[in-house]
Amino acid sequence: MDTQTLVKEICPTTTQQWVANGALLVDVREKEEVAQLAYDVPKIINIPLGEFEQRYTEIPKDKDVVVVCRSGGRSLRAAGFLVNHGYTQVVNMQHGMIRWAQKGFPTTGDTSSVLDNTQDTGCCST
């Protein structure tokens, strides 16, 4: 059986703290998704999941990295890929842009695509 390394996950509130401390956000959503609604944080890069295996070396190994997407699934896959390729300072943000926007954290664009028909279930404290 293959050995799997578990990926640490943090909530959007903790992600805010990581960003304040200089962490790099890596958004693995498609370019069209980012054009519609983006995380408004410094030091964010977009590497769509479909390009991730070819471009992951653009992510520095010596920085704290938080991988993000729309709901947390694609970013979890990407974070696991990074961990299995020698990255030690990488975490996944649970619940993605959906929870980020619900919490009122900084975005640019139209939040209606993630806020319509969603409900804040309180994954983390405010």
Question: What are the sequence ranges of the domains in the chain?
Answer: 14-109
Mean pLDDT (the chain) is: 90
> Is the per-residue pLDDT at 116 higher than 80?
no
> Is the per-residue pLDDT at 124 higher than 50?
yes
- pLDDT tens track for 74-101: 999 999 999 999 999 999 999 999 999 9
Q: What is the DSSP string of 46-106?
A: E--GGGHHHHGGGS-TTS-EEEE-SSSHHHHHHHHHHHTTT--SEEEETTHHHHHHHTT--
Please state which of the four CATH numbers 3.40.250.10, 3.40.50.920, 3.40.50.10300, 3.40.50.1100 is assigned to the domain occupying 14-109.
3.40.250.10
Active site residues: 69
**Residue 123: predicted pLDDT:** 55
> Is the per-residue pLDDT at 46 higher than 60?
yes
Taken in order 33, 36, 41, 43, the sign of the CA dihedral is positive
